[in-house]
Amino acid sequence: MEINHKFTGVWIPKEIWLNESLAPLEKLLWAELYSLDGNDGCYAGNEYLAKILDCSPRRIQQMLSKLRDMYLIKIEIKNQNQRIIRMAIQFVGTKNISSPHEINFIPPMKNISPPPTKYISPIDTSIIDTNINTNEEVTKRDFEIVWKLYGRIGNKVSSYKSFIRLSKKDQDSAAAHVPIYIKHHLDANKKAFIPHFSTYLNQRRWEDQLPYQLDKKQDDKWSQFGQKFL
């Protein structure tokens, strides 16, 4: 299949660019995947991506696994050997835009709350490791990922008990919300006020509004900009 890649530049949202958990090459890979993710997803193979980023196909596979585990991409397997990569979270500046290079907008980098996101279930059951045989092991794997994203705040044992009491849908909802929730507290310099993870889960904080109003003017600017794509 011919890869449609109309390249005129690179646009990376601040949630990716400022993410300290991502290496520079991983951020560039996300941008490349985004540019190739059309209506039908991205079909590029590891060899093609390795050539673009000047690295090995094995390194590409490692980075794809990391982006998937951070809920930044979803990987689907069709017909046993056809891989499709899609974005797991769409930021406001990318919604309903066929290419990230077609929008003349530079998102502000300071003193703003995270832009709203379109939720897509981050835990992709179509790519579960074939070495995992039980639902309990799958749940433990998913918990470990979200626990790390939350910053390991609180007691791990009690947090796990709270996590397994949730439905699969609620686990996915919490997982998608955690990066936004943590980033919001850090932007507001309120790291000390991040509740224990068990409290976050028991009180279903992902269903609440973010607690801090950072910069009203900037917040209104994001809201008005987001309305253009709704």
- The predicted pLDDT at position 41 comes to 84
- The predicted pLDDT at position 119 comes to 40
Tokens of 45: 């193979």
Report which secondary-structure segment, H or E, holds 82. strand 82-87
d(CA 170, CA 207): 10
- The predicted pLDDT at position 89 comes to 67
Radius of gyration (Cα) for the chain, nearest Å? 18
Scan for tokens 């943590």, then name that residue: 182
Query: One digit per residue, pLDDT tens: the chain, 230 residues?
Result: 555 555 556 678 888 888 888 888 998 898 888 888 877 788 889 999 999 888 999 999 999 999 988 888 888 888 777 898 888 766 544 444 333 333 333 333 333 344 444 444 444 444 444 443 346 777 888 899 899 989 999 999 999 999 999 988 888 889 889 999 999 888 889 999 999 999 999 999 999 988 887 655 544 544 454 444 43
Per-residue pLDDT tens digits for 180-194: 999 988 888 999 999
- Is the Cβ–Cβ distance between 30 and 22 less than 8 Å? yes
Per-residue pLDDT tens digits for 150-169: 999 999 999 999 999 998 88
Domains of the chain: 14-107 (1.10.10.10), 128-227 (no CATH)
pTM (2 d.p.): 0.41
Which phi and psi (to 5°) does residue 96 adopt?
Answer: 60, 30
For residue 38, list its beta bridge partners.
Answer: 41
